[in-house]
Structure 1
Amino acid sequence: MSDVAPKQLLHLVFGGELQDVQGIAFKDVENLDIVGVYPDYESARAVWKAKAQSTVDNAQMRYFVVHLHKLLDPESA
């Protein structure tokens, strides 16, 4: 048995209204909806999906999942 904790694979879910549906520039960066940080992709994706579905009537609203673990440790695979 190993006492080594599994590597954290943190994911950020956030969203906001886009300037243009063809791009990824936000209308108001200061008021982005920072939903939260999640310990794995599956839980982040579930939250992302719920947030995206809750704003389906606003075509300019987009939510994203960011792989924080790739930003924190870019050398890892």
Structure 2
Amino acid sequence: MAEIESKQLLHLVFGGELKSVTSTEFRDLDALDIVGIFPNYAAAHQAWKSKAQMTVDNAHMRYFIVHMHRLLDPENA
């Protein structure tokens, strides 16, 4: 029986310091931390969690997970 490959669902993890804790507007776009692109949500979540825990003392620092696969194929989102 042939092994079925799981579908690649790309996710981007990035973060930076926000102008305000109540918004998602970044203070300095040149200083964004691009953590990486991951093949699935589980790997992206693990990277996000690690980065978020490293910056827990800075209330303005936030990391996000972007579901790139939804942007690449919006009809199947």
TM-score, normalized by the shorter chain, greater than 0.5 = yes
What is the distance in 2 between the residues matched to 1:11 and 1:59?
Answer: 24
Aligned counterpart, 1:56: 56
CA distance in 1, matches of 2:56, 2:28: 19
Aligned residues with identical type, % of pairs: 61
User: What's the CA shift string for 1:46-68, capped at 9, x where partnerless?
Assistant: 01000000000100000000000
TM-score by length of 2: 0.91
Code of the residue aligned with 2:67 in structure 1: it is H
TM-score, with normalisation over the residues of structure 1? 0.91
Question: How many pairs does the alignment contain?
Answer: 77
| Structure-1 separation of matches of 2:11 and 2:30 | 20
CA distance in 2, matches of 1:53, 1:15: 12
Tell me the amino acid that sits aligned with residue 76 of structure 1.
N
* Distance of 1:6 and 1:45 partners within structure 2: 18
Q: Give, as a single letter, the amino acid of the residue that structure 1 aligns with 2:60.
A: Q
CA RMSD of aligned residues (A): 1.6
- The AA in structure 2 aligned to 1:37 is I
